[in-house]
């Protein structure tokens, strides 16, 4: 290994590292006396010590060295901190490079500013202890481990001149999502995508345990990383001078190799997947903190994970030890009398947007360009009367998405992510204009696969979500196309993204991002192949727990409504939009103008299906979701025939949040609007796509809630016919009619007769399907009576 650093360079980079370490320790411990100008006393120390030291010196070490190669090779680089617990480190570095002060002018580069920097950390009214939206240069919180590499690759897609350095902690490396995300290199095009430089940081310990990858043999580790498709370079040790030389030497080599790979790919227009370089950095956990405290090993041990020593207000020895520790970084060499970093340090920092805290990709809203959108009306299903035409809603949507893809090919800022469900969910037409992206061997039987495809289909919801998040956070647009049941796999990732967006809304310098859009199809009611394990409509329950101003949920009843909703979602900013829509052929209810009007309203009375003629109805039949809408209209059809005197009002809900109180959600109907629509005292039979309790949770404050009766999925299902699925959950037309009869008081003797007929119908249904394996023709072929005119 060569020693590329001159003595001066070595001293400089070490000084920078010590400064970052000093600032990190200061944030964790100090309330005052930031430069240790007077002897440290317990009054200078925070009353509550919160933060994580263990990973921080390693993160600072990497940051310092990346700055060097950024300057040397004039690189555009982002820094993704897998170990989000290293918050103090990233704050320290962005403070040193000046970006922190640019965003937070009161945190000046002087003694007073340093005191404020220290105090605010993990302090009420201050900043979180993790890397967070507040941290300049970050797109990644890291509080929940597992997604660093997925985010990094998401950022690199379509950013050919960007290098995303991604620190993977060895704790994080044990998670499932991280373990599979190494394979992202099979989806990265070396010509028109950027580069991800993974840096696996083996510091040996998690909270209280050794890590797996730090305790396998070098041989196995090397095989594993080569098996993932990388060429690992090792930087291992604890002697700072040697480590600086090693790291510099290897980064020179890696930067050179990356440039070669890129040049070769571009010059030869050859997207063959290279073996990308990566770095394995093995350092002691808590590197440079006291080796022992109170007779117990701390440096190079799990004990340095959080705050290496406490009891600062009770134990004067600890105060002395902290002072020694902080002075071991030689602060007087690092900061001038006023507390500003000395010129020798700041000279090592890249300029302007080359600083990682100022890289524009890390505040992606700055770079966001609106999508060029074709007119969604052009894709409308045309028909004469409700129910007269059948269509597969998501297939219609797919044609629109195809042309969105096509219109934005030149700007390369729209991608689709799906766990192998893009075609299954009926977006196959997209493959007329782009392919599935895969950077590897293709065979003659493959279907629309190439290295430049813009539909990424790895069978990992975690990857899809992580890539998409990284893509959005760096200022682009996308869609996640998923089976409804299995979107729960990323529940926790959704949480983190929603939390990130919520916080960003309060940070003025964070520019708005494109919304995270989900299409959930192959939904609970039409899992004909897959049965019970594929039936779960609960993601929306999960979503609505997050902050209302982030969350939007749409359940369009037909293709034209789906088009309108899709267009709206693609234009929106800073939301998570959840769209639930079926892929099976179904009747179409609204022409495109009606659909637009309905979607803008979010919830409407469907006059054409109602017979209350503007009067107060006897009963309200509400529906939300495509299958519940179908069953509701079929129930209305029955009611018209058997109880023509009954005044029925049909309401369809496309924007779920309209149901909620406007004090809870900005889309909520006012109480007056709600009362006019749903009445204040008439029975409401509500057929819902998901778990019925969600409707109660959203409407419990409404005047007429006591008369609200909801049908939905109640965890009954198996591999059976489509109609049997709704029967199993009492959501079918016959049960809905029975629900009406049970709740409308004046029907008298006739009611018992009708109910008996309905029950016979259900018995007939069960017998028929058990014999024939499919639904009765009268069920399969039912249509809205007007449609037959």
Taking CB under 8 A as the binding criterion, the range among 64-72, 406-414, 694-702, 749-757 that sits at the site for its own copies is 694-702
Cα-based torsion angle of the residue sequence 379, 383, 384, 387 in order, rounded to the nearest 10 degrees:
-130
Q: How far apart are CA 286 and CA 471, in angstroms?
A: 33
Smaller CB distance to its own copies: residue 170 or 626?
A: 170
Classified as helix, coil or strand, 248 is helix
Give the nearest distance from C-beta 299 to its own copies in angstroms.
Answer: 10
Segment interacting with its own copies (CB under 8 A) among 139-147, 335-343, 393-401, 568-576: 139-147
Q: Among residues 56, 93, 135, 180, which is the contact residue for its own copies, using CB under 8 A?
A: 180
Residue closer to its own copies, measured from CB, 95 or 147: 147
Rank residues 541 and 594 by Cβ distance to its own copies and give the closer one. 541
Asked if residue 586 lies in contact with residue 423, where contact means CB atoms within 8 angstroms, the answer is no
Tokens linked to 405: 């893809």
The rounded distance, in Å, linking the Cα atoms of 588 and 565 is: 15
Of residues 184-203, those binding its own copies (CB under 8 A): 186
Task: In angstroms, give the least distance from the CB of 351 to its own copies.
Answer: 32
Instruction: With contacts defined by CB under 8 A, name the span among 121-129, 316-324, 409-417, 595-603 that binds its own copies.
Output: 121-129
Binding to its own copies in span 510-549, by CB under 8 A: 528-534, 536, 538, 541-542, 544-547
- The answer to whether 208 contacts its own copies (rule: CB under 8 A) is yes
**If binding is defined by CB under 8 A, does position 395 make contact with its own copies?**
no
Distance (Å, whole) CA 750 – CA 761: 17
Q: Does 102 bind its own copies (CB under 8 A)?
A: no
Task: Provide DSSP, 698-762.
Answer: HHTTSGGGGGEEEE---S---S--HHHHHHHTT-SHHHHHHHHHHH-GGGTHHHHHHHHHHHHHH
Interface residue with its own copies among 306, 611, 629, 729 (CB under 8 A) is 306
Helix (H, G, I), strand (E, B), or coil: what is residue 503?
Answer: helix
With binding defined as CB under 8 A, does residue 181 bind its own copies? yes
Could you say which of 40, 62, 90, 145 contacts its own copies (CB under 8 A)? 145
Query: Around 560, how many Cα atoms within 13 Å sit in the side-chain half-sphere?
Result: 23
Indicate whether 227 belongs to the interface with its own copies (CB under 8 A): yes
Nearer to its own copies, 629 or 721 (CB): 721
| Binding of residue 126 to its own copies (CB under 8 A) | yes
Chain positions 420 to 459 lying near its own copies, rule: CB under 8 A, are 420-424, 436, 438, 440-443, 445-447, 449, 457-459
Please report the DSSP string for 370-422 in residue order.
Answer: ------GGGGPPP-SSTTS-EEEHHHHHHHHHHHHHHHTTTTT-EEEE-SS-T
3-state percent helix, strand, coil for the chain, nearest multiple of 5: 45, 15, 40
Which is closer to its own copies, CB of 187 or CB of 383?
Answer: 187
* Whole-number Å distance between alpha carbons of 167 and 179: 14
Nearest residue (CB) to its own copies, 271 versus 557: 271
Of 54-62, 371-379, 720-728, 741-749: span binding its own copies (CB under 8 A) = 720-728
**φ and ψ at 121, to 5 degrees?**
-70, 125
Residue 323 CB, nearest approach to its own copies (Å): 20
**Residues 549 to 578 in contact with its own copies, rule: CB under 8 A:** none
Collapse the DSSP code of 349 into the 3-class scheme (helix H, G, I; strand E, B; otherwise coil) and give the result: coil
Question: Of 175, 246, 652, 704, which one interacts with its own copies (CB under 8 A)?
Answer: 175
Smallest gap from Cβ 119 to its own copies, in A, equals: 8
Angle, alpha carbons 311-314-316 (nearest 5°): 95
In angstroms, the CA 24 to CA 22 distance is 5
Choices 122-130, 262-270, 592-600, 607-615; region in contact with its own copies by CB under 8 A = 122-130
Q: Is 694 in the site for its own copies (CB under 8 A)?
A: yes
249-288 positions binding its own copies, by CB under 8 A: none
Nearer Cβ to its own copies, position 157 or 228? 228
Q: How far is the CB of 766 from its own copies (least distance, A)?
A: 8
Q: Can you tell me which of 37, 215, 571, 573 binds its own copies, judged by CB under 8 A?
A: 215
Q: Are 733 and 631 in contact (CB under 8 A)?
A: yes
Span from 105-113, 299-307, 322-330, 569-577 in contact with its own copies (CB under 8 A):
299-307
Cβ atoms 230, 185 nearer than 8 A? yes
- Could you tell me which of 639, 641, 609, 640 has the C-alpha nearest to residue 622? 609
Q: Determine whether 117 is exposed, middle or buried from the number of CB atoms within 10 Å of its CB (0-12, 13-18, 19+).
A: buried
CB of 509 to its own copies, least distance (A): 18
Q: Footprint of its own copies on residues 48-77 (CB under 8 A)?
A: 48, 50-52
**Alpha-helical runs (H) found in 602-691:** 626-642, 671-678
Interface with its own copies: number of residues (CB under 8 A): 126
Interface map 699-718 toward its own copies (x if CB under 8 A): -x----x---------x--x
């Amino acid at each position: 290994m060569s020693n590329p650093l001159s003595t001066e360079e070595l001293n400089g980079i070490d000084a920078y590292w010590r400064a970052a370490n000093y600032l990190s320790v200061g944030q964790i411990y100090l309330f005052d006396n930031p430069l240790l100008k007077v002897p440290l006393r317990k009054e200078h120390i925070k009353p509550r010590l919160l933060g994580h030291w263990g990973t921080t010196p390693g993160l600072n070490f990497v940051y310092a060295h990346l700055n060097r190669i950024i300057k040397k090779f004039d690189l555009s680089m982002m820094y993704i901190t897998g170990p989000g617990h290293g918050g103090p480190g990233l704050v320290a570095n962005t403070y040193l490079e000046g970006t922190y002060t640019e965003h937070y002018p009161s945190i000046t580069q002087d003694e007073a500013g340093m005191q404020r920097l220290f105090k605010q950390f993990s302090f009420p009214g201050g900043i979180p202890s993790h890397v967070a939206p507040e941290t300049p240069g970050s797109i990644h919180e890291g509080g929940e481990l597992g997604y660093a590499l997925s985010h990094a690759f998401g950022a690199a897609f379509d950013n050919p001149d960007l290098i995303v350095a991604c620190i993977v902690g060895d704790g994080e490396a044990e998670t499932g999502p991280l373990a599979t995300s190494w394979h992202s290199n099979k989806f990265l095009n070396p010509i028109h995508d950027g580069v991800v430089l993974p840096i696996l940081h083996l510091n040996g310990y998690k909270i209280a345990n050794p890590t797996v990858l730090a305790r396998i043999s070098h041989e196995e580790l090397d095989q594993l990383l080569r098996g993932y498709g990388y060429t690992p370079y090792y930087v291992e040790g604890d002697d700072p001078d040697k480590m600086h030389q090693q790291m510099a030497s290897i980064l020179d080599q890696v930067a050179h190799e990356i440039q070669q790979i890129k040049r070769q790919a571009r010059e030869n227009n050859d997207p063959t997947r290279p073996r990308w370089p990566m770095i394995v950095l093995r350092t002691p956990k808590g590197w440079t903190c006291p080796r022992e405290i109170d007779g117990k090993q701390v440096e190079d041990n799990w004990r340095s994970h959080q705050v290496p020593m406490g009891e600062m207000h009770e134990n004067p020895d600890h105060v002395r030890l902290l002072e020694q520790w902080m002075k071991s970084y030689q602060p007087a060499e690092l900061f001038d009398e006023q507390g500003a970093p000395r010129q020798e340090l700041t000279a090592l920092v890249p300029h302007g947007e080359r600083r990682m805290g100022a890289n524009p990709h890390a505040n992606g809203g700055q770079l966001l360009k609106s999508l060029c959108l074709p007119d969604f009306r052009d894709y409308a299903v045309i028909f004469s009367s409700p129910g007269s035409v059948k269509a597969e809603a998501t297939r219609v949507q797919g044609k629109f998405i195809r042309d969105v893809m096509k219109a934005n090919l030149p700007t390369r800022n729209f991608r689709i992510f799906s766990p192998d469900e893009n075609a299954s969910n009926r977006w196959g037409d997209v493959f007329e204009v782009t392919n599935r992206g895969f950077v590897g061997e293709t065979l003659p039987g493959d279907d629309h696969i190439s290295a430049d495809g813009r539909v990424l289909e790895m069978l990992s919801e975690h990857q899809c979500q992580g890539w998409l998040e990284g893509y959005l956070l760096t200022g682009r647009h996308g869609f996640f196309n998923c089976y409804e049941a299995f979107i729960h796999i990323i529940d926790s990732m959704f949480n983190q993204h929603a939390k990130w967006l919520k916080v960003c809304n309060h940070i003025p310098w964070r520019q708005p991002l494109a919304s995270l859009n989900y299409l959930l199809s192959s939904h609970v009611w039409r899992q004909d192949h897959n049965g019970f394990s594929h039936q779960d409509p609960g993601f929306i329950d999960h979503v609505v727990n997050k902050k209302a101003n982030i969350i939007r949920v749409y359940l369009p009843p037909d293709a034209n409504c789906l088009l309108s909703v899709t267009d709206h979602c693609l234009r929106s900013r800073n939301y998570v939009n959840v769209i639930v829509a079926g892929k099976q052929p179904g009747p179409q209810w609204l022409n495109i103008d009606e659909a637009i009007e309905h979607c803008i309203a979010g919830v409407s009375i469907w006059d054409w299906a109602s017979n209350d003629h503007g009067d107060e109805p006897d009963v309200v039949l509400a529906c939300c979701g495509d299958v519940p809408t179908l069953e509701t209209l079929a129930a209305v059809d029955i009611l018209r025939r058997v109880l023509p005197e009954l005044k029925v009002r049909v309401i369809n809900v496309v924007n779920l949040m309209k149901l909620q109180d406007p004090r809870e959600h900005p889309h909520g109907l006012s109480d007056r609007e709600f009362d006019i629509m749903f009445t204040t005292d008439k029975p409401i039979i509500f057929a819902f796509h998901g778990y019925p309790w969600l409707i109660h949770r959203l409407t419990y404050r409404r005047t007429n809630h006591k008369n609200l009766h909801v049908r939905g999925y109640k965890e009954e299902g198996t591999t059976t016919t489509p109609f049997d699925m709704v029967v199993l959950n009492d959501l079918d037309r016959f049960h809905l009619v029975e629900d009406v009869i049970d709740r409308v008081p004046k029907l008298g003797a006739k009611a018992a007769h009708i109910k008996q007929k309905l029950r016979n119908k259900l018995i007939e249904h069960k017998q028929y399907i058990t014999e024939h394996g499919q639904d009765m023709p009268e069920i399969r072929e039912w249509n809205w009576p007007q449609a037959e005119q």
